[in-house]
Structure 1
């Protein structure tokens, strides 16, 4: 006799409970092939539920091939439905995201690249989202074009021209699901196994992973206080492209001057390669206006990548590429193969957000907030460490670099910091040629309130035992 536990307090329908239980018993081998199941009327009486519930559960199992009916003989477990089960408890434990992680609620995390999440313009965004959803024509809820909504690309082209000096028309823009997808599209567009990429060193580790996933080789070019060392570009190499962050080098924070920008473009022209410009957070410049884009100097040689993860929220997953004319059609096709298109409603909301001046208003507001947080971090570091720390790369963005004398940020030291409920990120994590920046850490302050910044620096001092 088959016994099935029934719980009427659950939100799960009774027929689903019956179906799930029998299905699992068959998959686990508890009910063997050829074994006869209870008659529907008999099982219904035993469980105290309607016979229709049992009938519907059996019909679903029959439709999926778990059971089979034999005329006049009853219902039996179908052959071939047993699947050897792994130890589910062990698997669950191995994927437990909380396992081994710091559980203290007061961990102060100096992660870079995270904006002030609590200051996302919810009211304005929510108002526009409601209006867009109600007013949108029916076709918006269907499939869309891979390059993105026309209204967003048009507004974006004007915005980039006005604020970043980007020379483009709407047809050159492909909207992506964040900058990560944009870089992935570039790898598929330009890279094959064995190709070479000239790249700043250090540079974000995630970018390195994306580019090498194709089997490409990274050729690191050192960065100094003025950005990539263009004097080290070799005429012997014919790269697929050069990757740079000229307006705010990540992670060191330098700004590429016009002389090196020109040298970079001349090199790209001579080798017939492209330049990929990552402009990830340059809107937040504190010592003047944002630096103009490299793309504006040579729109047919530079691929410009931008994102709204830093100036609005990573949750939006909205980014874009500005492409030279020769790459537009191929990139559109790759985007279509990748995910058809980026969500249309979100694009329409963003277009309205930019068009009504709300994005620039939000950036102006947040620039003041981040400037204040940067100043608090600088003062706290100076107060706690004095001349033992050198601060750099803090003119733009949401992080700065703290370079300590006689300190190496080893794994043991990072663990000790975690025990003091503070987390920092070594520059060395993002280097290609190792052992050049072991005494430097990236301190992000965008998503930390002022009091947390101050407390975090004090915890850092306690762990470093100054």
Structure 2
């Protein structure tokens, strides 16, 4: 019995419904090679649909090789079209159970770091400028572009970074990337070969460690204190490919590298003939004084500078940049082309205009007030609830601080108990290479939380930790 179901209420066309059901039966072996299909008249009559629907469905199956026609005899299942059902079922079940997007838990208060206030993205201004770009600019922006990025953005960025961060570079030294992660990946492929060594801060973002390790390199950790990397511990017997630092706001501890350590770092790099990679990810939001000048400005030929707009504006924009010494530019452009050709041109031009018209600086000034208010509220909540049992670190800059608790070990079991209270915190220990030194510290991001959420989150945290420290 050849049975096909037709549902006229579906968005799927009748042709597609007929085609898909026959195709699946052939793949699963329900219709076997050499088996004759009903004639177009027979099937259209039994389904009470137009014969033209059946003809087009059959023609598609013939075109894809599922069935073959024999003149004067009809349509038959082709040889070699049986795939088997088990693989398909296992494949589908994997996606059904593992890869469906999770709905956001609206009850969960998430202290994740590095997330700006998403509801305060300058939608109206950005939208108006993007509309102008799409309507008014040359049609060439919709074609392929240069891997290093649009010249408009690179010119504007070089001026902006010199004015605000003390970065010295020619626009040709800039490579526009889809965020800081791609910039780090480019650096790893430019500078690292298997068995090379990288010196980096400990702790430092777990993801960065993974990127560098993916090249087969080994990592040499230098511990940090409240002032960043302890440069006095730089090894005299090492010749690394590069040193990785976050000098303007160490992640996660939050220290600002003083000039004496910056000079030590540069002198070490000159002596060992290696590069310094400076990740300047959220230093715009400094709450005492002006942002700290870049390390790159002290030695532009030695320092590779990485920046991103994910923390300033939105992670969804996927816009970052890399500033390289001239000797590395051509190789980097080749690598950038191989990865994904280029960052979308309309977004680059929109960002260039957004910066050039000083909207970015206006947005940063506005957001500094917002984030300072949230930071101060978080600090007050922590102090009020935990009194002298807590020490706060790295709160002068950025979108997170570190809280160190007396007599608390943020083990997996402890973190699970906290999460049961519908609050998520992040252990510093996750980002360490030498384990056991930061077990009492957690990272608390506040950029994307309201004051009410911050207060409630701290109260939930207190419910779990009260028996340990109060």
TM-score, normalised with respect to structure 2: 0.97
Q: Does 1:168 align with 2:169?
A: yes
Aligned residue number for residue 348 of structure 1: 349
Compute the displacement of 1:34 (Å).
1.8
In the alignment, the residues of structure 1 paired with residue 454 and residue 302 of structure 2 have an alpha-carbon distance, to the nearest angstrom, of: 41
**Deviates most, 157-166 or 77-86:** 77-86
In the alignment, the residues of structure 2 paired with residue 92 and residue 167 of structure 1 have an alpha-carbon distance, to the nearest angstrom, of: 49
User: What does 1:149-298 correspond to in 2, within 5 Å?
Assistant: 149-298=150-299
Q: Does 1:94 align with 2:85?
A: no
Aligned residue number for residue 339 of structure 2: 338
In the alignment, the residues of structure 2 paired with residue 411 and residue 310 of structure 1 have an alpha-carbon distance, to the nearest angstrom, of: 28
Q: What is the CA deviation profile of residues 118-150 of structure 1, one whole-angstrom value per residue up to 9, with x for unaligned ones?
A: 111100111011110001211111111000011
In the alignment, the residues of structure 1 paired with residue 460 and residue 204 of structure 2 have an alpha-carbon distance, to the nearest angstrom, of: 27
Compute the displacement of 1:75 (Å).
1.1
Aligned residues between the structures:
464
Compute the displacement of 1:411 (Å).
0.6
Compute the displacement of 1:327 (Å).
0.4
**Deviates most, 222-231 or 73-82:** 73-82
Unpaired segments ≥5 residues, structure 2? none
Q: What is the CA deviation profile of residues 420-445 of structure 1, one whole-angstrom value per residue up to 9, with x for unaligned ones?
A: 11110000000000000000000000
Q: What is the CA deviation profile of residues 254-285 of structure 1, one whole-angstrom value per residue up to 9, with x for unaligned ones?
A: 00011111111111111111111000000000
In the alignment, the residues of structure 2 paired with residue 342 and residue 2 of structure 1 have an alpha-carbon distance, to the nearest angstrom, of: 52
Aligned residue number for residue 39 of structure 2: 39
**Deviates most, 39-48 or 343-352:** 39-48
Structure 1 SS opposite 2:221: strand
Structure 2 SS opposite 1:353: helix
Compute the displacement of 1:464 (Å).
1.2
**Deviates most, 396-405 or 227-236:** 227-236
Cα RMSD (Å): 1.3
In the alignment, the residues of structure 1 paired with residue 277 and residue 409 of structure 2 have an alpha-carbon distance, to the nearest angstrom, of: 32
In the alignment, the residues of structure 2 paired with residue 149 and residue 20 of structure 1 have an alpha-carbon distance, to the nearest angstrom, of: 45
In the alignment, the residues of structure 1 paired with residue 223 and residue 31 of structure 2 have an alpha-carbon distance, to the nearest angstrom, of: 65
In the alignment, the residues of structure 1 paired with residue 98 and residue 22 of structure 2 have an alpha-carbon distance, to the nearest angstrom, of: 27
In the alignment, the residues of structure 2 paired with residue 293 and residue 27 of structure 1 have an alpha-carbon distance, to the nearest angstrom, of: 61
Structure 1 SS opposite 2:442: strand
Q: Which runs of 4+ in 1 moved over 2 A?
A: 84-90, 96-99
Q: Does 1:21 align with 2:24?
A: no
Compute the displacement of 1:104 (Å).
4.5
C-alpha spacing 1:98/1:134, structure 2 compared with 1 (3 Å): closer
Aligned residue number for residue 370 of structure 1: 371
Q: What is the CA deviation profile of residues 281-312 of structure 1, one whole-angstrom value per residue up to 9, with x for unaligned ones?
A: 00000011001100001111111000000000
**Deviates most, 274-283 or 81-90:** 81-90
C-alpha spacing 1:409/1:263, structure 2 compared with 1 (3 Å): same
**Deviates most, 60-69 or 420-429:** 60-69
Compute the displacement of 1:11 (Å).
1.5
Aligned residue number for residue 428 of structure 2: 427
Unpaired segments ≥5 residues, structure 1? none
Structure 1 SS opposite 2:368: helix
In the alignment, the residues of structure 2 paired with residue 447 and residue 22 of structure 1 have an alpha-carbon distance, to the nearest angstrom, of: 51
**Deviates most, 181-190 or 372-381:** 181-190
In the alignment, the residues of structure 2 paired with residue 165 and residue 2 of structure 1 have an alpha-carbon distance, to the nearest angstrom, of: 75
Compute the displacement of 1:355 (Å).
0.9
